[in-house]
Amino acid sequence: MNLARLARSASTRLCLNRVTEGLQQGSQDGQRHCVSVRFNATSVVGAASSGDILKREEYKLALSNVGKQLNLTDKDLPVLRKAFTDETFAELIFKTRRKEGVLVETLEPGLDNGRLSHFGEASFRLTVTEHFFMDGQHLSAEAISNVVDFLTQPGRLASIVDQLGYVPLIRSSKMPVSPDESSLFSKVFFAIIGTLSSTKGQIVARQFVQETVLKALGKMDLLRAIKLHQPKLMLYHVVQEKQRTPPVITQTENEDGTFSVEVVAGKNVLASASGPSAQAAEHLACRDALKNHYSSELDTAPLPAELESYHSEEDIEITK
C-alpha cells in the first residue's frame, strides 16, 4: 500500500469514527422537533404479529396510530396508505374493479407506493450524503458513496420496518408478507420517507432518517461493516497485500437445492458456509474467513471504493 493511499485510508477511518461518535449527540439535539418513531408493533397494531393480516377496521385503526406517531393528519392518511401498498396489491385492486364493471382503462400510477418510494429513496440518499459530507468533512467521495450504498441495503432497511411494527400494514398480494421480502420492505421504508417529504417537508423526513437509521450507527463498527459487505473483494485484497496466493473457493450443490461453499488456502479450510444460492453461501464463507483469519488486516485495509485495483465481486475469479 503506498503512503498516499495509507494516509487517505487513515484519514477516512478517523473521520468516520468522529462521525459515529457524534451521531448520538446530533440525534439528541434534534429531539425537540423530531417526529416520534420509537414504538413497537404492539403499540401500533394491537396484538397483531408481523405475520398477521389485519381486518379492515383493525387496519384503519393501525394506520391511524402510525399516522399519529409520525405527526400526520387525517388528510395525510391516504398518502400513508399508498406508502404501504405494493404494486402487486394495486394490480389486484385494478383487476377487481374491472370484474365489477368499473370502467378503468389503465392502472392508476399513484395507486401503489412506486412514486413515493422513488421520491423517498432520493431523499434518503441526499440526507445520508449531506450528513457525512457535513460531519465528516475529509471523507472522500468514494467513502461517502460506500456509506450510502451500505445503508441502503434492502436487508438493513427491512429490519427497521420490522422493528417499527410496520409489517402488518403492508398491502401486498404476497400476504402474509414474510420478513424475507427485503426489497418489498425497503420500498415501503423509502415510501414512508416520501410520505413525510411530500406532506410535512424535507426537514421532517430528514429527522426521521436521523432517528431510525443514522442514530444506530453509533452502536456499530461502521468501517468494518462496510468492508464485510463485500467480503470476497476484501479477502482478495488482504491476501494480495500479504503477497500470498489467493484462497480457492469451492462450490457444491446439495440435494435439497442449497449450496455449500468452502474457502481453502493450501490444505487448510479457512471457512465454510451454506446458503440458498451459491452467491449467498460464498458471501458468508468469505466473511467468516476474513473475521477469523484476517481480522487485523481487515481493520487496516481501505474501504472497497478506495482500493486502487477495485473490481466488482462478480469479476473476481477465485472459484472452482
Assess contact for 91 and 174: CB atoms under 8 A. no
What band does 127 get if pLDDT is binned at 50, 70 and 90? very high
Compute the C-alpha angle 183/187/188, nearest 5°. Answer: 120
Q: Which of 8-12, 198-202, 227-231, 315-319 has the weakest average pLDDT? A: 8-12
Query: How far are the Cα atoms of 82, 173, 216, 223 from residue 86, in angstroms, in the given order?
Result: 8, 8, 27, 34
Residue % of the chain over a pLDDT of 70: 67
Q: What is this structure's pTM?
A: 0.64
Bridge pairing between strands 259-265 and 268-275: antiparallel
Taking alpha carbons only, the member of 10, 2, 307 closest to residue 138 is: 10
Q: What is the mean pLDDT of residues 35-57?
A: 46
Question: Quick one: pLDDT at residue 199?
Answer: 95
> How confident is the model over 276-308, as pLDDT tens digits?
988 889 889 989 998 888 888 888 888 887 776
Residue 253 has pLDDT above 80, yes or no: yes
Q: Which of 44-48, 113-117, 137-141, 184-188 has the weakest average pLDDT? A: 44-48
Question: Quick one: pLDDT at residue 195?
Answer: 96
> How confident is the model over 200-246, as pLDDT tens digits?
999 999 999 999 988 877 545 677 878 888 888 888 888 888 767 77
Contacts for 35 with CB less than 8 Å, ≥ 6 apart = 69, 70, 71, 196, 200, 204, 207, 208, 211
Q: What is the mean pLDDT of residues 183-196?
A: 94
Alpha-carbon distance of 144 to 171, in angstroms, equals: 34
Q: Which of 97-101, 171-175, 221-225, 232-236 has the weakest average pLDDT? A: 97-101
What band does 105 get if pLDDT is binned at 50, 70 and 90? very low
Question: Quick one: pLDDT at residue 236?
Answer: 84
Alpha-carbon distance of 14 to 19, in angstroms, equals: 9
Q: What is the mean pLDDT of residues 192-199?
A: 96
